[in-house]
């Protein structure tokens, strides 16, 4: 699912059959992913042109992530949470392979 985030987007946690998300322009004030409401079954997440500086929060809202790609996110500096994602097999952050 391609998702152009707006502040009015809520409760995507009920979309249990969706497991691939392409997220665009996610700009939370907290600069984290805690408030993002993804399906708990999310396995693949592509984040584009977002402003969070950390991946914190993903370990809580998307514990089953297998693949993540973060592109055009110039503020991203903290990716330590990748170590807490048990199922992660592939991670790219701003065109740099972190896990493959």
The pTM of the full predicted model, rounded to 2 decimals, is: 0.83
What tokens does 85 get?
């994602």
Distance, CA of 54 to CA of 97 (rounded, Å): 17
Q: Which domain holds residue 87?
A: 21-99
Question: What is the distance between the alpha carbons of residues 19 and 1, in angstroms, rounded to a whole number?
Answer: 8
In a domain, 34, yes or no: yes
Structural domain contains residue 56: yes
In a domain, 14, yes or no: no
* Model pLDDT, residue 39: 79
Reduced DSSP (H G I as helix, E B as strand, rest coil) percent helix, strand, coil of the chain, to 5: 10, 30, 60
Position 1 in a domain: no
Judge contact between 52 and 26, C-beta under 8 A: yes
- State the total domains in the chain: 1
Interval 29-67: pLDDT, tens: 889 988 887 877 889 999 999 999 999 999 988 888 999
Q: Is residue 26 part of a domain?
A: yes
């Amino acid at each position: 699912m391609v998702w152009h985030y707006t502040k009015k987007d809520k409760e995507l946690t009920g979309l249990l059959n969706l497991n691939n998300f392409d997220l665009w322009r996610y700009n939370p004030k907290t600069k984290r992913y805690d408030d993002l409401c993804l399906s708990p079954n999310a396995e693949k997440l592509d984040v584009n042109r977002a402003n969070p500086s950390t991946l914190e929060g993903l370990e809580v809202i998307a514990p089953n992530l297998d693949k993540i790609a973060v592109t055009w996110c110039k503020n991203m500096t903290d990716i330590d949470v990748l170590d807490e994602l048990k199922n992660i097999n592939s991670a790219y952050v701003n065109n740099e392979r972190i896990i493959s």
